[in-house]
């Protein structure tokens, strides 16, 4: 496949993978800040979802609004799919280079 055709195929593939994100979601139960909260007094706590991600090698966490969880979960799945494709494309570059090589490999 010519280079431009490969690029177009890749862009078409990733165009359907939006939104994207890299990180992970964790369900937790946390106490709240309200004084005399009945749930906290019963030690039931409050369910929440945390998004954990790395930026410049440093780990960060953010609370995720409940309504955003499905979209962010889909974004993380899309991001992982793109990462798998990038790994496969890197490997394919090496195989294509080997096939195109005219001189035999060094012993």
Closer residue to Zn ion (CB): 29 or 32: 32
How far, rounded to the nearest angstrom, does the alpha carbon of residue 69 sit from its chain's CA centroid?
A: 14
Please classify residue 17 by burial: count the beta carbons closer than 10 Å to its beta carbon, then call 0-12 exposed, 13-18 middle and 19+ buried.
middle
8 binds Zn ion, rule: CB under 5 A: no
48 binds Zn ion, rule: CB under 5 A: no
**In the complex, minimum distance from the CB of residue 19 to Zn ion, in angstroms, rounded to a whole number:** 31
87 binds Zn ion, rule: CB under 5 A: no
Interactions with Zn ion, residue window 17-36 (CB under 5 A): 32
**Burial readout 37-58 (b: 16 or more C-beta within 10 A, e: otherwise):** eeebeeeeeeeebebeeeeeee
Closer residue to Zn ion (CB): 30 or 60: 30
User: Do the beta carbons of residue 71 and residue 19 sit within 8 Å?
Assistant: yes
**In the complex, minimum distance from the CB of residue 40 to Zn ion, in angstroms, rounded to a whole number:** 3
Binding site for Zn ion (CB under 5 A): 32, 37, 39-40
């Amino acid at each position: 496949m010519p280079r431009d055709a490969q690029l177009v195929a890749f862009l078409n593939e990733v165009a359907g993978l939006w939104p994207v994100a890299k990180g992970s979601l964790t369900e937790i139960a946390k106490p709240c800040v309200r004084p005399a909260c009945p749930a906290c007094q019963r030690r039931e706590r409050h369910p929440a979802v945390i998004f954990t991600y790395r930026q410049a090698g440093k780990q960060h966490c953010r609370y995720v609004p409940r309504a955003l969880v499905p979209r962010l979960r889909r974004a993380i799945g899309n991001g992982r799919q793109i990462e798998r494709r990038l790994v496969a494309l890197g490997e394919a570059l090496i195989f294509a280079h080997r096939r195109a090589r005219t001189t035999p490999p060094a012993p």
